[in-house]
C-alpha cells in the first residue's frame, strides 16, 4: 500500500481516438483500419469511466494535407470536462491557434517539428509549453530506435533519445512516444526505450504502442518510468475497462486517480 | 446572473466558457471595464507566459481595472499567479493583490516540470471547497507556483508544498484548471457561482 506523506501527481491513463472522416478508427501498425465509433460519444464515455486525459489524432491529415478538425474539437470541448490533446497535420501557428480557440487544451505536433524544429520554439513562445506536445514515432531498426515521419511512413535518420532531448530543450511541454514496432501488437510497451527517454528529459513522457494486458501498464509506469500511458484498441473494443484497470494499478501500488 | 470572463487574448478561454455553460450560466467574454464592473461574478483564466500576459492586461487597461473590482473574482492557473506581487518567470511584476512571489519548480528524477496531471488537495478551507475532501483530485499544468502563506485555502505539493488555491477578500485564485477537473472541478465552479 502507498503511504505518502504528501500528495503526488498521479500516473495518467489516456485513451487515444484516431479519427478519420469524423469517425474513430484503429489500425494494426498504422494500417488495416477498423471502425470504432462516434468520437464525441466515445470521449464522453471515457471521461465518465475515469480517463485522465484524451488524445485525438486526425490520422488522415498529414498524408492528405487536410486541415485539422476544428468542428470536431468544438463538439468535444463542449461536453468534455477533462483535458484533451489534438494532433494530426498541424503545420502552422495558425493551425494551432484555431485548435486552441476551438477548445483543445494541447496540440500534438510531429512531422512539422521534424521538418522545421524551430516550430516547437515558436509554439512554446506564443502559447506556452504547457500546450505543446511533441509526438515522436519510432521504429526499432537493428539495435537503434529511429524516428519516423509522415505518419510513420518515412525514416528521418534521427535517433529517438537525441530528438526527444532536442524537442524538450526547444520548449515541448510533454512527449508522446510511440513505438511503431509495438503499436497494435498488444505485446507490451517498449520499456527500455521509454526508460531511456524518461531519463533523458525533465518533461512528462506519455508511452504509447503495445498495450495489451493490465500488467503492461504497471511495467511502463515502473520499469519504463512513464508519466502517462496511451492506448486505443484495448479501450475501444471493451477488452480492458478503465475502472478495472485503475483498480488493478492502485492495488499494484501505482499512484492513480480513483 | 451576469458572469463575465476577462478577455485579454491570454489563453484558452473557450474551455472555461463551455464549463460555465454546462452549469447553465451564460457567460460574457469581455475586456470592457464597465461590463466587468457590473458583472455579478468575474472569472480570469490564464495560460502561457507571465510577462506577455501582464503586457496584454496593460494594453487593455485591465491592470488598473481588475484590482478595483468588488464582486467575487476567480483567477484560474496563470490568472491566479497574476494576483501576486512578482513572478520569477521573466522577472515580471504582477497585480500585487496578494503578497506572494511566484517561483519555478525545480525538476528531479521523480518530479517532472511542468507539474502536469491530477493531484490531491490538502488543508482545504473556505466556500470554494464546500463538499470536497482531500481524496479528491484536480488537474494541474504549471511550471511556476505560489508558495504557501496565510492566504492559502488549499495546498498540494510537487514535492514542495505550494498554494493550490488562495483568497484575499473577494479575490479567489486556483492554480488548477476547474474547467478540466471533472466532477470535482465542476463542483468548485458551482461553489464559486453560488458565492
Cell numbers given for A127: 502559447
Closest residue of chain B to A173, computed from CA coordinates: B114
How far from each other are the two terminal CA atoms of chain A, in whole angstroms? 14
Mutate to test the interface with B, among A130, A175, A198, A227 (most CBs of B within 10 A): A130
DSSP-assigned states of every residue in B19-48: HHHHTT---EEE--HHHHHH-SEEEEEE-S
8 Å CB contact of A173 and B119: no
Chain B residue numbers with beta carbons less than 8 Å from the beta carbon of A128 are 11, 47-49
Is any Cβ of chain A less than 8 angstroms from the Cβ of B137? Answer: yes
Each residue's pLDDT tens digit, A163-210: 999 999 999 999 999 999 888 788 899 999 999 999 999 999 999 999
Report, in angstroms and rounded to the nearest whole number, the Rg of chain A calculated over CA atoms.
Answer: 17
Confidence band of A1 (pLDDT split at 50, 70, 90): very low
Question: Which tops the pLDDT comparison, A24 or A86?
Answer: A86
Q: For all residues of chain B together, what is the average pLDDT?
A: 94
**Chain centroid to CA A228:** 9
Residue spans of alpha helices (H) in A9-159: 39-49, 61-64, 70-79, 93-102, 111-115, 118-127
DSSP-assigned states of every residue in A141-171: ETTEEEEEETTTTEEEEEEHHHHHHHHHHTT
Is any Cβ of chain A less than 8 angstroms from the Cβ of B71? Answer: no
Confidence band of A34 (pLDDT split at 50, 70, 90): low
Question: Which tops the pLDDT comparison, A239 or B96?
Answer: B96
Kindly state whether residue A1 falls inside one of the protein's structural domains. Answer: no
Name which of A7, A103, A174 is nearest B157 (Cβ-Cβ).
Answer: A7
Res. B109: pLDDT tops 90:
no
8 Å CB contact of A82 and B180: yes
Name which of A9, A78, A79 is nearest B118 (Cβ-Cβ).
Answer: A9
Catalytic residue IDs of A: 18, 137
pLDDT score at A35: 60
Closest residue of chain A to B14, computed from CA coordinates: A103
Q: How far is A228 from chain B (nearest CA, A)?
A: 9
Each residue's pLDDT tens digit, B132-145: 999 999 999 999 99
Confidence band of A132 (pLDDT split at 50, 70, 90): very high
Kindly state whether residue A4 falls inside one of the protein's structural domains. Answer: no
Is any Cβ of chain B less than 8 angstroms from the Cβ of A243? Answer: no
Res. A80: pLDDT tops 70:
yes
pLDDT score at A30: 45
d(CA A155, CA B146): 44
Kindly state whether residue A183 falls inside one of the protein's structural domains. Answer: yes
Kindly state whether residue A2 falls inside one of the protein's structural domains. Answer: no
Only one residue has cell 455553460, namely B21
Name which of B14, B114, B118 is nearest A130 (Cβ-Cβ).
Answer: B114
| Number of folded domains that form chain B | 1
For residue A240, what are the domain limits?
12-251
Chain A residue numbers with beta carbons less than 8 Å from the beta carbon of B11 are 128
Of the listed ranges A34-43, A98-107, B74-83, B92-101, the one predicted with least confidence = A34-43
Kindly state whether residue A49 falls inside one of the protein's structural domains. Answer: yes
Q: How far is A84 from chain B (nearest CA, A)?
A: 9
Restricting to A residues 94-153, those with a Cβ less than 8 Å away from any Cβ of B are 100-105, 125, 127-131
d(CA B49, CA B102): 12
Chain B residue numbers with beta carbons less than 8 Å from the beta carbon of A202 are 107, 112-113
Mutate to test the interface with A, among B10, B87, B112, B162 (most CBs of A within 10 A): B112
CATH number (domain holding residue B162): 3.40.50.880
| Number of folded domains that form chain A | 1
Res. A68: pLDDT tops 60:
no
* Residue B178 per-residue DSSP state: G
Res. A61: pLDDT tops 70:
no
Phi and psi torsions of A7, nearest 5°: -70, 145
8 Å CB contact of B140 and A9: yes
* Residue B156 per-residue DSSP state: E
Of the listed ranges A51-55, A130-134, B10-14, B166-170, the one predicted with least confidence = B10-14
Is residue B159 reached through a cis peptide bond, with omega within 30 degrees of 0 on the bond before it?
A: yes
Kindly state whether residue A111 falls inside one of the protein's structural domains. Answer: yes
d(CA A119, CA A170): 9
Question: Which tops the pLDDT comparison, A167 or A34?
Answer: A167
Bridge partners of B28, per DSSP, are B4
Res. B15: pLDDT tops 50:
yes
d(CA A14, CA A176): 11
For residue B123, what are the domain limits?
3-193
pLDDT score at A242: 92
Q: For all residues of chain A together, what is the average pLDDT?
A: 88
Closest residue of chain A to B114, computed from CA coordinates: A203
Kindly state whether residue A134 falls inside one of the protein's structural domains. Answer: yes
Restricting to A residues 46-85, those with a Cβ less than 8 Å away from any Cβ of B are 47, 52, 77-79, 81-83
CATH number (domain holding residue A241): 3.20.20.70
DSSP-assigned states of every residue in A201-212: -SS-EEEES---
Amino acid at each position: 500500500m502507498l503511504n505518502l506523506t504528501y500528495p503526488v501527481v498521479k500516473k495518467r491513463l489516456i485513451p487515444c481516438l484516431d479519427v478519420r472522416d469524423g469517425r474513430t478508427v484503429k489500425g494494426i501498425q498504422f494500417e488495416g483500419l477498423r471502425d470504432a465509433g462516434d468520437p464525441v460519444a466515445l470521449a464522453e464515455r471515457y471521461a465518465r469511466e475515469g480517463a485522465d486525459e484524451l488524445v485525438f489524432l486526425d490520422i488522415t491529415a498529414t498524408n492528405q494535407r487536410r486541415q485539422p478538425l476544428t468542428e470536431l474539437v468544438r463538439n468535444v470541448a463542449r461536453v468534455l470536462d477533462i483535458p484533451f490533446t489534438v494532433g494530426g497535420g498541424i503545420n502552422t501557428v495558425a493551425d494551432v491557434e484555431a485548435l486552441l480557440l476551438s477548445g483543445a487544451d494541447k496540440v500534438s505536433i510531429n512531422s512539422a517539428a521534424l521538418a522545421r524544429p524551430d516550430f516547437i520554439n515558436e509554439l512554446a513562445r506564443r502559447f506556452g509549453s504547457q500546450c505543446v506536445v511533441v509526438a515522436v514515432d519510432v521504429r526499432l531498426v537493428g539495435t537503434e530506435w529511429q524516428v519516423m515521419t509522415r505518419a510513420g511512413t518515412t525514416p528521418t535518420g534521427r535517433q529517438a533519445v537525441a530528438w526527444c532531448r532536442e524537442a524538450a530543450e526547444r520548449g515541448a511541454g510533454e512527449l508522446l512516444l510511440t513505438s511503431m514496432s509495438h503499436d497494435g501488437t498488444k505485446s507490451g510497451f517498449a520499456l527500455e526505450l521509454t526508460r531511456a527517454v524518461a531519463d533523458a528529459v525533465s518533461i512528462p513522457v506519455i508511452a504509447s504502442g503495445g498495450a495489451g494486458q493490465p500488467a503492461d501498464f504497471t511495467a511502463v509506469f515502473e520499469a519504463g518510468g512513464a508519466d502517462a500511458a496511451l492506448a486505443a484498441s484495448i479501450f475501444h473494443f471493451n477488452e480492458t475497462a478503465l475502472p478495472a484497470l485503475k483498480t488493478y494499478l492502485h492495488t499494484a501500488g501505482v499512484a492513480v486517480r480513483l | 446572473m451576469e458572469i463575465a470572463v476577462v478577455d485579454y487574448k491570454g489563453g484558452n478561454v473557450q474551455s472555461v466558457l463551455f464549463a460555465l455553460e454546462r452549469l447553465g450560466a451564460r457567460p460574457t467574454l469581455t475586456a470592457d471595464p464597465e461590463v466587468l464592473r457590473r458583472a455579478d461574478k468575474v472569472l480570469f483564466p490564464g495560460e502561457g507566459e507571465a510577462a506577455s500576459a501582464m503586457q496584454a492586461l496593460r494594453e487593455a487597461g485591465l491592470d488598473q481595472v481588475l484590482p478595483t473590482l468588488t464582486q467575487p473574482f476567480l483567477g484560474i492557473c496563470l490568472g491566479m499567479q497574476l494576483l501576486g506581487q512578482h513572478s520569477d518567470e521573466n522577472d515580471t511584476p504582477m497585480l500585487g493583490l496578494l503578497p506572494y512571489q511566484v517561483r519555478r519548480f525545480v525538476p528531479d528524477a521523480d518530479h517532472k516540470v511542468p507539474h502536469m496531471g491530477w493531484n490531491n488537495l490538502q488543508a482545504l478551507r473556505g466556500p470554494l471547497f464546500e463538499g470536497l475532501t482531500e481524496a479528491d483530485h484536480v488537474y494541474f499544468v504549471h511550471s511556476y507556483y505560489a508558495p504557501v502563506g496565510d492566504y492559502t485555502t488549499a495546498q498540494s505539493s510537487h514535492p514542495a508544498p505550494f498554494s493550490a488555491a488562495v483568497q484575499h477578500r473577494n479575490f479567489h485564485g486556483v492554480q488548477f484548471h476547474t474547467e478540466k477537473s471533472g466532477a470535482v472541478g465542476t463542483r468548485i465552479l458551482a461553489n464559486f457561482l453560488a458565492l
